[in-house]
Structure 1
Amino acid sequence: MIWAREETLPRAEMEALQLSRLKDTVKRVYEKVPAYRAKMDAAGVTPEQVRTLDDLRRLPFTTKQDLRDNYPFGMFAVPKKQLLRIHASSGTTGKPTVVGYTKNDLDVWRECVARIAVAAGGTSDDIAQICFGYGMFTGALGLHNGLEKVGAAIVPSSTGNTQKQLMYMKDFGTTLLVATPSYAMRIAEVAAEIGLDPKKDLQVRTLVLGSELMTEAMRAELHKVWGEDAKITQNYGMSELMGPGVSGECEELCGMHINEDHFIAEVIDPKTGEVLKPGEKGELVVTCLTKEALPLIRYRTRDITRLMVEPCACGRTTMRMENLSGRTDDMLKIRGVNVFPSQIEEALINIDGIGPNYEIVVDRKGYSDILTIKVEVKAESLMDSYTALENLERSIKEKMRIALGLDVKIQLVSPNTLRRFEGKAKRVIDLRKEGNKNV
């Protein structure tokens, strides 16, 4: 099912709509946001010089630091009295980034999320359980309101108390689950501990996952516990742009469809800022076309992907973005080699005898980086066999050497000993940095 006509517009019609909205947005931010006016003046570009979509690349980038430097409302294009909602990031690495919504912004947000929910298989017949944390985080209320627009019944269970989550799922007949990939796995893990089989004892058949990267290996593991016929998709967004609703997978699973009538996506070389051609991998940059309160221009997301312009088998003609392969700011440099946590996860999940939970610890001894990967074994009995542990450790090391081109240390631990996450998983501890940074 396709929710909106805009998802099937011919390319020329979509680009004409984007250009019209881009011109209006650039003019508005230049007139109403002093920070943007200063950036554009410094770059020597005026709104009148934006005549084609290609002229977008003449405009300066916006970064998270711009939002922090203008905390809390300096990047807003409307007065506070027009705001109906304010959200903010946690601000764990600096001042929080504050985002706001007018009435029209909230309507657009609901529409965008409704589209990705329907693309993922959501319907008005669903009972949708939202296992994101409600609060300043945009994920829970974003999915809540979008699914409500579709007509689904909402169970706003938030995060935590996983046994009670399972009670709700069983007693209410939950059919659609919203969660992070890691928490969806945790729910299935707890279900097994209390004697429930999600495939047989629950009615969840659609999983709409987001807020953290999901590798194809993780999707395969989720299918093992939720069922091979379950619809398991991921979607993309961030609070600065809107929240969830920027893009999402359809059931064809060939990339995330971008709501192009509301966002223009570019991919750039993260080092030079040069715009790359469709199909080339780089950093995603997004321009908001219809946001009233916080209309960001060329926002550098730090997420790594590539764009696909060919139409999808589902019937949508919107550009798609490949599922993320990492972030420029979570890349680890180990002895001169670039390593992404997603590479480690892909390699680990295909190894028999270990569970899906892992932790990456990076340290330095002298002038040498040490990469240690902590992994849970599936069976406690394995911890009593030195030979079995040694063989498993050797097998994992070899897989990592092939995947990463590095020798790493492997630390095998008992089942259920590593941290579990109800929100976004934090897998990396980098002890080389001052203050032990979790990624």
Structure 2
Amino acid sequence: MDTPMMKNLLSKYETLRKQEHVSRQQLQAYQVQELQRLREYTYAHSPFYREFHKGLFDAPLEDLPVLTKSTLMDHFDDLVTDRAIHLRDVRTFAANNQGDELYLDRYVVHSTSGSTGNPGLFLMDSEEWLTALASSFRGFEEAGVKMDPNHPVKMAQITSTNPSHMSSGGASSMGNMGVPILLLTAAEPIQSMVEKLNSWQPQLLLGYASIIRILAYEQLSGRLQIAPSTVISGSEVLTPETRRRAVQAWGNVLFDMYGTTDCGGIGAECKEHRGMHLQEDLAIIEVVDRNNRPVPAGDYGEKLLVTVLWKRAQPLIRYELDDSLRLSSVHCPCGRPFRLVKDIQGRVREILTFPTVTGGSVKVHPIVFENIMDTLPVNAYQVVQEADGLHLLLSGVHDALNEDELLAAVKKALTKQGAVMPKVEVQRVPSIPQAASGKTPLVKSNLPHTPA
């Protein structure tokens, strides 16, 4: 990263830090201003949005139609604001990208894993990528890590090493800034991972929640011997038991961050540990039910509608994310103007559907299973719904485990939800299968996905 670009990044970072000290009223006024700028630019440069929002150019945000990933991909060429961008070329570029190359010499390209059967491609120009990096830096700062190029923090990141994944791109950019970073794939054997971390001795440890859980157990067992001043979990649901293990292993230095390839940084936890602050100066975030109606703080939404205020190359206005979360009804003592995420209970596709005794169906949220599985003496677990029933995958069982008691607990929980008890099988496995990105969802369904 050259000096002018570095200065630009640090300038964006300082601007974001200053916005943490404005009032809630000032923040809302800023959102109105930036939304207007976004819409004016989008309507001037995107044929898709001119048609998608036809007759609604002056309508309030909540009256605009919802943009899904499938709609975005179906209309990719018309949605982007640069007529030189073509989906077929972006796909070819993403498939062959080996590192820091830019599409058309100006666009960073990342892809989603396609776990819903519909992989997505997302791009940012160089300025937008710096904004995305600056938002990550702010998240690090909220966790007590100041990204000072003159005093770089020694870092280890365990996510994906695929250049098409956003986490890998971010790590590569930080390495180019001179940040000493050890980048490991989440698929690396645990023994090898432990050896490399022991040798590296990171000050900042960042990884998927499932990896943080395993490494905490390795630390408590004495095999891993590191003393990070900050541990950051991201990309997966951070359960209370994983948090408890991490705190037991390293102290109260664990922070949760929330972001997506589609929308960039969305939330980050501060030192008060009251939840994650939404980055509302970068996005307008609506927590809604299945019919896109807002839900009150304290209630879980069915999904999010995100309007990213800083993206121009590929505008996202009321873009649908199938994450189910609830907002806190209290303000954080830290004084930031941003709303707090109380907790995330998973994605809609991680909510399992079961038949009921009355002939209907009932949706069972991942937290129902996590409350049971989190108590087990295992290194990792996964609940998988298949056509033949539920499979409870257990890896690294390190103490006595009564499978009959586990089955009874699952039966009791599902019965309480009104579900007909399926066939349930406990499987002890060497490791939990990972997605292409290296993520390991705690609960997932392999049944055909049916949109709400």
* TM-score, normalisation: structure 2: 0.79
What is residue 416 of structure 1 aligned with on the other side? 430
Contact 2:217 2:379 in 1 (8 A): no
How far residue 313 of structure 1 moved from its aligned partner, in angstroms, is 1.4
Which whole-Å deviations, capped at 9, do the CAs of 1:47-106 have from their partners, x for residues lacking one? xx25xxxx21122211101221024x4322235557331112234655532211112102
Which whole-Å deviations, capped at 9, do the CAs of 1:130-163 have from their partners, x for residues lacking one? 11113111123236646987x8532233442443
Matched, 1:357 2:381: yes
Counterparts of 2:243 and 2:109, CA distance in 1: 33
Contact 1:269 1:276 in 2 (8 A): yes
Structure 1 residues 74 and 98, CA gap change in structure 2 (3 angstroms): farther
Q: Which runs of structure 2 are paired with 1:192-203 in the superposition (5 Å)?
A: 196-198=222-224, 201-203=225-227
Structure 1 residues 93 and 329, CA gap change in structure 2 (3 angstroms): closer
Matched, 1:216 2:240: yes
Counterparts of 2:174 and 2:197, CA distance in 1: 20
What is residue 354 of structure 2 aligned with on the other side? 334
What is residue 88 of structure 1 aligned with on the other side? 111
What is residue 177 of structure 1 aligned with on the other side? 205
Q: Which runs of structure 2 are paired with 1:104-183 in the superposition (5 Å)?
A: 104-124=127-147, 126-134=153-161, 135-142=163-170, 145=173, 153-159=180-186, 160-183=188-211
Corresponding letter in the other structure for 1:273:
N
Structure 1 residues 312 and 210, CA gap change in structure 2 (3 angstroms): same
Which whole-Å deviations, capped at 9, do the CAs of 1:398-433 have from their partners, x for residues lacking one? 456557866455434446365467821145564654
What is residue 367 of structure 1 aligned with on the other side? none
Contact 2:354 2:419 in 1 (8 A): no
Matched, 1:373 2:383: no
Counterparts of 1:360 and 1:423, CA distance in 2: 17
Q: Which runs of structure 2 are paired with 1:10-409 in the superposition (5 Å)?
A: 10-41=23-54, 44-46=55-57, 49-50=58-59, 55-71=60-76, 73-78=77-82, 79-80=84-85, 81=104, 83-91=106-114, 93-94=116-117, 96-124=119-147, 126-134=153-161, 135-142=163-170, 145=173, 153-159=180-186, 160-188=188-216, 196-198=222-224, 201-224=225-248, 226-227=249-250, 229-242=251-264, 245-270=265-290, 272-282=291-301, 283-308=303-328, 310-335=330-355, 336-351=361-376, 353-363=377-387, 370-375=389-394, 378-379=397-398, 389-391=403-405, 393-395=407-409, 397-398=411-412, 401=415, 407=421, 409=423
Structure 1 residues 420 and 156, CA gap change in structure 2 (3 angstroms): closer
How far residue 182 of structure 1 moved from its aligned partner, in angstroms, is 0.8
Contact 2:257 2:267 in 1 (8 A): yes
Corresponding letter in the other structure for 2:295:
L
Corresponding letter in the other structure for 1:171:
S
How far residue 260 of structure 1 moved from its aligned partner, in angstroms, is 1.4
SS of the aligned residue for 1:284 comes to strand
Corresponding letter in the other structure for 1:231:
V
Q: For the aligned residues, what is the CA RMSD?
A: 3.2
SS of the aligned residue for 1:325 comes to strand
Structure 1 residues 418 and 61, CA gap change in structure 2 (3 angstroms): closer
Structure 2: tracts of 5 or more residues without a match:
1-13, 86-103, 356-360
Counterparts of 1:221 and 1:403, CA distance in 2: 29
- Percent identity between the two aligned chains: 22
How many pairs were matched up?
Answer: 404
* TM-score, normalisation: structure 1: 0.81
How far residue 389 of structure 1 moved from its aligned partner, in angstroms, is 4.5
